[in-house]
Structure 1
Amino acid sequence: MISTSELQGWRGGGMRIVMIAPPWYDVPPVGYGGIEAMLAGLVAGLSRRGHDITLIGAGKPGTPARFLCTYDPAPSERIGEALPEVLHAAMAQDIIADLDADIVHDHSLAGPLTAATRRVPTLITCHGEVDGEYGAYYRVLSETVSMVGISAAQRRLAPDLNWAGVVHNAVEAQSFPFREHKDDWVLWLGRFNEDKGAHLAIDAAQAAGRRILLAGKLTEQVEHDYFEEHVRPRLGAHAEYIGEADASRKRELLAAARCLVFPILWEEPFGMVMIEAMACGTPVVALDRGAVPEVVADGITGFVRSHAEELPEAIEAADMLDPHACRSHVARRFGVDAMSEKYERIYLRLTGGLVEPPGETRDLVLPVN
């Protein structure tokens, strides 16, 4: 924990931090938007710790930070197009030129391209893929930015990048309703992409004899294509698509479900919906990919399985798990204050305000259990 004296020694108080959000959704998001939800929590946590935050983003203000807007409204319907991302980055750089900042923390994809023009450090959080072409992109940026991974699993995919640490995403657990007694149906919630495994969730629920509700983002053409080929043929009395859930509806669903089914087919770098479910006291039944074993305590807050064929049995066993253990796991391991303190330590190190002994600066994430 950073002491009060250490922080007060930095310019007599908090740091001046510029946050750059992606351009696609409000912060916090009204519905889908895992990055934006994480970012809203981080801004709130850092503000409580006495830092001066300027948030550059799209849409409407919704955090304690000073908000400087690029797009109003956020161009959510244009996700997949290059121009909104590039224009957002250009406008953000123009705004930053007139700000007096100690550090820039960028959560967008194109924004880091402008980092070389700044006199202050730029930190980026890698919210998605870090291998393949994304890895090549981040390697080019390594001379001008430092990077934070959102899981150890993500960092292992590209260990040679300029990592400043690993910090798990977080939520304000108290902002999610807790329910001890659950309904009989199970839930899948996410983006309709084959990698998210909605079709596997339906199959597993049906094999377990449980009804499943599916709520998720269905806007891009690739999502519609996947939905029509793999999801719609599986719908019926046992499987119902209920549309995209806004923040309020999402909380209701997560709190009521017997379990959240998370059968991912890729190396998911985190998975915000897992900690949101557990915050509601709802266990997670997931496949062992990406960060899942870092997030779910197997046999305590959910079940982590290697094969899809094992999911039905895990769904049936979900009601044996303690909802209180799920909630406390999130509060203890994935709280906003802990996330904010870890980012604060990285900011101080990058700006020269904190010197740590060798070996204490690179791994800012703890094991699950």
Structure 2
Amino acid sequence: MRICLIASSQFPIAEPFAGGLEAHTHAMARTLLERGHEVTLFAGAGSDPELNAELLLPEEFCGSETGRRDISAKPEEWMQQHHAYLGLMLRLAQEFQQTGRPRFDVIHNNSLHHLPVAMSSLVPTPIITTLHTPPTPWLESAISYAGPEATFAAVSRATAEAWSDVVSAEVVTNGVDIQRWSPGPGGTEAVWTGRLVPEKAPHLAIDAARLAGFRIHLAGPVMDQDYFTTEVLPRLDDTAIYRGHLHQDELRELVGGSAVAVVSSQWDEPYGLVAAEAMACGTPVAAFPRGGLVENVSATSGVLAAENTAEALADAIRQAAELDRSGVRAWAEKSLSLERMVRDYEMLYDRAAHPHGAGQAQTARAAA
């Protein structure tokens, strides 16, 4: 199929990834290409050229000095993203007007921006939007204007339920490359990975690891410098070490060589990609029971804290570290694989592109 993937206009789809959404989109593009599809990727400049996907780079926007002086002016970053997605949707609509035929069989929107949804009726191609977050006002509003060809998927049952008052979404749970995130030897220390922001609460992971008697390593991009300076930096010492923003191979080595992965989220995780990566490495997870983590962390692969406190998370860390690593890996192979996720999306693409059943052969191939 001819597939357009819409990603973040702000961050490149390249390592080291800005977050789980960028890692997810990179894995999707790579696997779809390997499975013989023609993939075009709309993403930020600097995206991985080794994907061999056609890139649609965002149009740059630089406001005038007069416009920036307006008291109602949005931040420059907001305007740049608005301009990028506005330009993309108008470009896709204009291409159809000029040629009389759609360029793509399906468009898969993995961005968090509202315009691909709100302007979907301008484009004759079916647009599938994956809901990667709990409901946001901008996206809720945009769904009211979604075109008749718009389809929605959610990355977990918890996310689908959170959106159920707004839109019905098919559940296509995320997955990780279980070949790349291969089993590691384990170790004696804890690990925390992800974006260093308040809602991910790495400071609680540090507190819990100390209470549990574990040294902990942290890795990921600092996305909120004030939070990092106030809450994380003062807690760092020789028992809590920040390793920086690592590439996936470095992360795999760190996570696979740890006794337990700590997930300390203070928001309802739509899926919990870092937990899935850890489990694929055979590293058990200790987490707060938030959102999709409740679905993705099984009794054989991790322990969910009894309550939302550092003390309860510390108990979960101690218990999770005792789990059998082969059982953790087996759970990942059964439930968390990238191949399964892509096959599910292929079937969803086929149904969207052939709503009257003309794509049954493709569906059968995808199922195989």
TM-score range, shorter chain: 0.7 to 0.9
Q: Secondary structure at the match of 2:51?
A: coil
- 1-structure distance, mates of 2:260, 2:76: 32
- 2-structure distance, mates of 1:80, 1:294: 39
Instruction: Pick closer, same or farther for the CA change 1:132–1:267 going to 2, 3 Å.
Output: farther
Q: Secondary structure at the match of 2:241?
A: strand
| Structure 1: 5+ residue stretches without partners | 1-14, 73-78, 357-369
Residue of structure 1 in register with 2:125 after alignment: 120
- 2-structure distance, mates of 1:146, 1:346: 9
Residue of structure 2 in register with 1:54 after alignment: 40
Q: Secondary structure at the match of 1:119?
A: coil
- 2-structure distance, mates of 1:213, 1:142: 46
Instruction: Give, as a single letter, the amino acid of the residue that structure 1 aligns with 2:269.
Output: E
Residue of structure 2 in register with 1:4 after alignment: none
Residue of structure 1 in register with 2:252 after alignment: 251
Q: Secondary structure at the match of 2:315?
A: helix
Instruction: Give, as a single letter, the amino acid of the residue that structure 2 aligns with 1:320.
Output: E
Residue of structure 2 in register with 1:303 after alignment: 303
Per-residue CA deviations over 1:16-72 (Å, capped at 9, x if unaligned) read 211111123332432333112112222233334433222222223232433333379
Instruction: Pick closer, same or farther for the CA change 1:283–1:231 going to 2, 3 Å.
Output: same
- Say which is worse superposed, 28-37 or 146-155, in terms of deviation: 28-37
Instruction: Give, as a single letter, the amino acid of the residue that structure 2 aligns with 1:282.
Output: T
Residue of structure 2 in register with 1:83 after alignment: 79
Instruction: Give, as a single letter, the amino acid of the residue that structure 2 aligns with 1:67.
Output: L
Residue of structure 2 in register with 1:332 after alignment: 334
Structure 1 runs (4+) deviating above 6 angstroms are none
- 1-structure distance, mates of 2:316, 2:294: 15
Q: Secondary structure at the match of 1:105?
A: strand
Q: 1:213 aligns with which of 214, 217, 221?
A: 217
Superposition deviation, residue 306 in structure 1: 3.0
Residue of structure 2 in register with 1:282 after alignment: 283
Cα pair 1:213 1:242 within 8 Å, conserved: yes
Cα pair 2:271 2:292 within 8 Å, conserved: yes
Instruction: Give, as a single letter, the amino acid of the residue that structure 2 aligns with 1:89.
Output: Y
**Higher relative contact order by CA 8 Å / sep ≥ 6: 1 or 2?**
1
Instruction: Give, as a single letter, the amino acid of the residue that structure 2 aligns with 1:33.
Output: G
Return the TM-score normalized by structure 2: 0.82
Residue of structure 1 in register with 2:25 after alignment: 39
| Structure 2: 5+ residue stretches without partners | 61-74, 96-101, 359-368
Residue of structure 2 in register with 1:260 after alignment: 261
- Say which is worse superposed, 18-27 or 257-266, in terms of deviation: 18-27
Instruction: Pick closer, same or farther for the CA change 1:23–1:224 going to 2, 3 Å.
Output: same
Superposition deviation, residue 295 in structure 1: 1.0
- 2-structure distance, mates of 1:294, 1:80: 39
Percent identity over paired residues: 30
Q: Secondary structure at the match of 1:125?
A: strand
Superposition deviation, residue 234 in structure 1: 1.9
